[in-house]
Amino acid sequence: MKDRRKERSRRRRELQRRQSQRQRRKAQRDPVIGYVARQGIHMACDGDACIVAGSRTAMVAILEYHRNDPAEHAIEPARCSQILQAIGLGGAYAFDEQAYGRFLPEAQQAGLPLVEEDFSDPGPTGIHLVRIGFL
């Protein structure tokens, strides 16, 4: 009886270890670029572009600037593959500096003709976003 419990426990630990390894490998292959906010099926956007902020804190600040209640939004990670797929389908994204810095090398590697952007002037809103989308 004790041997069965030990064996089940050992198998459970081994399964958890494998799942953890798979999650780490997936995260390495498909990095988190930033965070998006949604309210039901509606995404937080700047015009027609879904906003991707480099951190949860930055997304909260953007939501507050646009007079949205952050508590009413689910803030979720946006992975590179999700963004590239949506852009390929005609979607547009607006990145803050931190998120764009993460996205640029991944997008270039995927063949998108993107270049470094100048974020030194935050503009009148104090929030500089770069819009990426292809028609």
pLDDT in tens, the chain (135 residues): 677 787 877 777 877 777 766 655 555 579 999 999 999 999 999 989 999 999 999 999 999 988 889 999 999 999 999 999 999 999 999 999 999 999 999 999 999 999 999 998 887 778 899 999 875
The residue extents of the domains of the chain are 1-30, 31-133
Question: What residues contact residue 97 under an 8 Å CB cut-off, 6+ apart?
Answer: 54, 117, 119, 128
Are 77 and 32 within 8 A, CB to CB?
yes
